[in-house]
Chains A and B, each alone.
Chain A
Amino acid sequence: MAIDRKRIIDAMSQVEVLGNDEGLIPVFGVFVQQLPANFWNGFAERLTRSVDPDSLEAAEWLLVNAAHECGYHTGYGIITSEEWKAVVEPMIENAPEDILHGAFAVFTAWGWAKSEVVELKPKKKMVVRAYDYYESDVVAYGISTKASAYMIRGVCGAFMDLAYGGDYDPTGKTGLRTFQCAQTKGIECGDEYGEFVVTPA
């Protein structure tokens, strides 16, 4: 693998993102915002802890889906951006697998999760480990019986969609949700790291 994670993280973590004169941040083909992590965690945790147990799976799906769509569109914007072309593209020898490794280095650099691909069977399976992620902050004491990394689950699925789900579809009607992701370990659950297994939907 030619992907130099450290170099990507060093370069991409320094990208300055602040609102323009309109208070908007139009980059990578989308508008982005930079909000406190506890805002996102607060909504997800209060929602999933408040619903009837029979509705928990549906609520979790909605949270994962939001990240899945976000990861699909923003992910495409990232891997076609000038920053990507300058930093990551020269390292790519074996596409799309190297692209996936590079994408998780960017994912790490932007503070979503300190994560990497630890197993990859093209078109069939990807296992990602996250050693530090803001979604685990929902637990400050003890261990949770509920895994909480909905954002990582969604983005992992989205990145596999981009790698193996066919041409990018800006409408999201095709190509999106061809893969699904399960969280099998979580720091919030007392594990050393979060683990995410992506398989065809």
Chain B
Amino acid sequence: MAVMKKTEIELDHRFDPRTCRHTMNGQVSVLHCHHYATLYTQLAEDCGMLDGRKLLTDVAEDAFREVLSSYYSTHGLDDVAQRIAIAEQYYAAAGLGKMRVLCAGPESCEVELLHSHVDAGWIKKWGKRDAPVNYITSGYIAGMLAAIWERPARSYSVVETAGIVAGAERSKFSAAAN
């Protein structure tokens, strides 16, 4: 019987006492709370000046595509299952929630969240609502897919089809190549 080796993410967290900055795997990282994340989400929705939802999603895609691409390259990870495992584990380690990739190919992907920082934070702050709120995670998924399949940013569109914030048991996402 084949033995599957479980992929475990390696997190190198450091604090530089000179600059007083924290880094995670070489990238400057910072702690913020659910008030900050949900208010940025609300800002993205209410911002009449431009398409704030797309802005927040795009920024998340760019940031996490870089994180994951760098990790895959540094650790020589070529296997799709390993790449997905790392993406799920990074999401959890960052405190964004528990993500499960149900299926993924170069053209499409299905993802669900069993727990979600923004859903939980939104409910804690303002209660439930009908529309989903996970623009940051939508960007994360787009960035993850671009990193896994080594494609440029904006290669995938992600739609949140169900939200914990709206009463669903899990938040669900469907992604397709553009």
Contacts of A70 in B (CB 8 A): 32-33, 35-36, 39
* Chain A interfacial residues counted at CB < 8 A: 54
- Contact (Cβ within 8 A) A31 B34: yes
Contacts of B22 in A (CB 8 A): 13, 34, 110-111
Q: Does B128 contact A (CB under 8 A)?
A: no
Which one of A36, A114, A134 has the highest number of Cβ atoms from chain B below 10 Å of its Cβ?
Answer: A36
Interface residues on B, range: 35 or more
Known: A30-B35, A42-B63. A9 touches B115 (CB 8 A): no
B interface, CB within 8 angstroms of A? 11, 13, 15, 17, 19-22, 24, 27-37, 39-40, 43-44, 47, 49-50, 52, 55-56, 58-60, 62-64, 66-67, 91-99, 114-115, 117, 120-121, 124
Known: A32-B95, A43-B59. A66 touches B17 (CB 8 A): no
- Contact (Cβ within 8 A) A19 B92: yes
- Contact (Cβ within 8 A) B32 A35: yes
Q: Using an 8 Å CB-CB cutoff, how does the interface string of A19-37 with B read, 1 for contact, 0 for none?
A: 1011111001011111111
Q: Which residue of B lies closest to A39 (CB)?
A: B63
Q: Does A139 contact B (CB under 8 A)?
A: no
Contacts of B15 in A (CB 8 A): 13-14, 111
Instruction: Tell me which of A14, A34, A59 contacts B24 (CB under 8 A).
Output: A34
Q: Does A55 contact B (CB under 8 A)?
A: yes
Q: Which residue of A lies closest to B39 (CB)?
A: A66
- Contact (Cβ within 8 A) B20 A73: no
- Contact (Cβ within 8 A) A22 B115: yes
Q: How far is the CB of B55 from chain A (nearest CB, A)?
A: 6
- Contact (Cβ within 8 A) B67 A36: yes
- Contact (Cβ within 8 A) A23 B30: no
Contacts of A74 in B (CB 8 A): 33, 35
